[in-house]
Structure 1
């Protein structure tokens, strides 16, 4: 019996201990160290600060609902919108009646809030993303909201449009995705513009 312990169980325990140290300690420490050295902002959550306080992340959307702010995509997270602890979509298919009713309701609300807009409602303002936490909207979605935001803040629409133009993020690596705008960063810049006006 003692021979079995020495021949079989002891090497197993040594291998288990060695792999635990390698994969549970050395690897996480190495990857964390490299990430902190090479990509410190991303490794720490891509946080956005205002007046020395963290107000959000570039990677997680927030619920802006007032007329004085640009709105992001609808969020299907529960129990509240943009709940980062419960990232999820509605999982409803494009022909599901509940999905169609939700999109129709969103479009009706958007048309009511933007009476000067007669064109099509940008799809990203009417549909939720798969994560429910999308921090960005299309350029068309931002332009769609310019008149409402400008009127609510009593700012010239051209000034708000220029602010939108200054916050366009191009395609990733110049070819992936579409131009887009980070809603939190745009709204923070909007607050600064209002202070100057």
Structure 2
């Protein structure tokens, strides 16, 4: 007579617990360790947060926008989250909201005055908040409109500053996805390095 495993709950408990333990170790711990290890080997900078350094000190991440104050700096998109990665958010105001329209109009005039350009020449991304609130990039047009101000504040030839912008402009990913962009923190660090080099001469 053929013997069949007991269908009593106590007889099923051991294999069920064994399967749960193996699944937890393989899918939970093993996969996480493998993915983390491969990430550190294949993409070491990205695995550490794409951190940027100046004089041996970490000053930020290429993935997280941060505010810059003063005429010497390129500024990023405005943030509804205060550039706080722990409070990522957009403005949550609809495009038809009168308060948002008034805010955008005021910001456009203020930026036009700051950059010395006509209001119609202010790129929209300099007056609208990104969805995440920590977008580290601006488009080439938003960087270009700031070149004259930054160059004057640093006593540099505008052509040299524009050359830095061009050098830090990334094209669409794989040439297909997204748009051309400039990482604001990287650009400002390059400006500092150039200014220090000029001062040392």
Give your verdict on TM over 0.5.
Answer: yes
Q: Which residue of 1 aligns with 2:98?
A: 97
Give the Cα–Cα distance (whole angstroms) in 2 for the partners of residues 6 and 64 of structure 1: 65
Runs of 4 or more off by more than 6 Å in structure 1?
none
Shift of 1:3: 7.7
Query: Residue 121 of structure 1 aligns with which residue?
Result: 122
Q: Secondary structure at the match of 1:164?
A: helix
Report the equivalent of 1:59. 63
- What TM-score do you get using the length of structure 1 for normalisation? 0.91
With normalisation by structure 2, the TM-score equals: 0.89
**CA distance in 2: counterparts of 1:98 and 1:65, whole angstroms:** 25
Give the structure 2 partner of residue 161 of structure 1. Answer: 162
- In structure 2, distance between residues paired with 1:10 and 1:47: 47
Structure 2 segments unaligned to the other structure (5+ residues): 1-5
Unaligned runs of 5+ in 1: none
User: What is the rounded CA distance, in whole Å, between the counterparts of 1:12 and 1:106 in structure 2?
Assistant: 62
How many residues were matched structurally?
Answer: 192
- RMSD of aligned residue pairs (Cα, Å): 1.6
Match of 1:38 in 2: 42
Q: Which structure is larger by alpha-carbon Rg, 1 or 2?
A: 2
| 3-state DSSP of counterpart to 1:60 | coil
1:31-87 residue CA offsets vs partner (Å, 9 max, x unmatched): 11111111111111111111111111111111112111000000011xxx1001111
Per-residue displacement from partner, 1:137-171 (whole Å, max 9, x unpaired)?
00000010011111111222122111111111111
Mapped to 2, the partners of 1:19 and 1:89 lie a distance apart of: 39
Where 1:112 maps in the other structure, the secondary structure is helix
Distance 1:3 1:190 in 2: 73
* Counterpart position of 1:14: 18
